[in-house]
Amino acid sequence: MTREEQHLSEMLKRTVPEPPLELSADRMTVRQANMSRRPWLAPAFAAAAVVAVAGGGIAATNLSSPSSPAVQQTSAQQTSAQQTIAHQSSAQRASAQQSTNTVQATLQATPSTSSGASLRRFVMPNVVGMSSAQAIAALNAAGAAGTIELTIQSSTGPSGQPVPLPVPKGTVVAQYPAAGTVVRGERVAPNPARTAAPN
Amino acid sequence: MPESLDFPLETRDFPDFVRRRSGPMLRTAWLLTGGDWALAEDLAQTALSEVWRRWDRVSAIEAPDAYAHKVMVNTFLRWRGRQWTAEISTGRFPVAATTGGFAEVDLRESLRQALRRLTAKQRAVITLRYFEDRTEAETAAIMGCSVGTVKSQASKALARLREQPGVADILVGGMQ
């Protein structure tokens, strides 16, 4: 190293300031440029998660964004949740009927500290195998904000008897988006009127 | 059937990893982004998001720190067409250039301005070689380029830094 290089090295080490902030695992963000390479993320605009529960399936959707796309999203995701169950127990598919009803749970919104105007993003956790309560807790921990909608689907046979389940009742058997994908959620500090879930 | 009913083990120590690496990664990112904390945070967290997606494999290897660092540098280089190399209006004139004296000049501000005159690749080389004290071979391995490129980029960067008042004085005379 030349003397000039040594001087540069010393200057850099003494001039770089202490970071005024700390990185945190629940503030993972991703730039939009990165996301545009995954066009399938676009439909995930308002979605936090879809989870399907055996014997009481779940579709969970973040409804905190403008209401109508979220509603459409919900029905589309219910379909995918149903497909998941059908796929999982194909022997039962012909005879099983599914009924759905909807529960809503509120995710705690942790405001992003980086900039109030930025779109909130978080990395979708793996909630498969959890109970619905655990799944909600995990989504909270991941930084999902807003309201989540859980669609419970129960599978019953033609005469109403319960269909045997391959996993414990109430277990999440599928989720959307997949674990590890980066989800763009709602705006941080949005207009309160728009954060209310429809109905 | 889902492959596992347990909460994935490998994700449990990720928050600790992030806390531990926060300071070093942010300081490097600060230099790479030309002294902008907002961009630095953005860069570091983007890199960590990439690491998180591969965490099951990354946490199994010997040096997740080095891996995260490499991802960050390369994320930065990949995005060099984006905002960190865009022209940055500082809103004030460079003090050093107008006053000529360097005693009153905030060295950090001079360094910032000097860094912003470098290309992304030059900034990366300067950061790795002189801030992190990596060898030319290590720098080349992290950046995915040849040792020759590291050398030429370093000398071009030094030439540019010499043109920056305040910084130039230090290069010649060292820190007081």
A155-193 pLDDT, tens digit per residue, is 555 555 555 555 666 667 666 666 776 766 543 333 333
**Confidence (pLDDT) at B149:** 96
Record: contact A28-B48, CB cut-off 8 A: yes
**Confidence (pLDDT) at A147:** 52
Record: contact B7-A129, CB cut-off 8 A: yes
Nearest Cα to B154, choosing from A8, A14, A17, A10? A8
**Is residue B7 over pLDDT 60?**
no
**Is residue A120 over pLDDT 50?**
yes
Token reading at B126: 């300067």
pLDDT tens-digit series, residues B111-152: 998 999 999 999 999 999 999 999 999 999 999 999 999 999
**Confidence (pLDDT) at A60:** 41
- List the single residue in B with minimal CA-CA distance to A12: B131
**Confidence (pLDDT) at A17:** 86
- Is the pTM above the cut of 0.90? no
pLDDT band at A131 (very low <50, low <70, confident <90, very high): confident
Record: contact B52-A33, CB cut-off 8 A: no
- List the single residue in A with minimal CA-CA distance to B48: A28
**Contact list, A173 vs chain B (CB under 8 Å):** 1-2
Query: How many Å apart are CA A50 and CA A61, to the nearest integer?
Result: 6
**Confidence (pLDDT) at A72:** 25
Q: What is the DSSP string of chain A?
A: --HHHHHHHHHHHHHSPPPSS---GGG----HHHHTT-GGGGGGGG---EEEETTS-----B--S-HHHHHHHHHHHHHHHHHHHHHHTHHHHTT-EEEEEEEEEEEP----SS-TTSEEEEEPP--TTSBHHHHHHHHHHHT--EEEEEEEEEEE-TTSPBPP-SS-TTBEEEEESPTT-EEEEEESS--HHHHSPP-
pLDDT tens-digit series, residues A40-74: 333 333 333 344 333 333 334 333 333 222 222 23
Higher pLDDT pick, B144 / A82 = B144
Nearest Cα to A127, choosing from A136, A137, A135, A117? A135
Q: Answer whether B9 touches A (CB < 8 Å).
A: no
Q: Closest partner residue to A180 among B4, B42, B53, by Cβ?
A: B53
**Contact list, A129 vs chain B (CB under 8 Å):** 2, 4-7
Using a pLDDT cut of 90, give the percent of chain A over it: 6
Nearest Cα to A10, choosing from B154, B88, B131, B33? B131
B99-102, long-range: CB < 8 A, 24+ apart: B100/B165, B102/B165, B102/B166, B102/B169
Q: Answer whether A119 touches B (CB < 8 Å).
A: no
Higher pLDDT pick, B85 / B28 = B28
Record: contact B42-A29, CB cut-off 8 A: yes
Q: What's the mean pLDDT when you consider all of chain B?
A: 80
Q: Closest partner residue to A8 among B46, B82, B130, by Cβ?
A: B130
Tell me how many degrees the CA angle B38-B44-B49 measures, rounded to the nearest 5.
Answer: 125
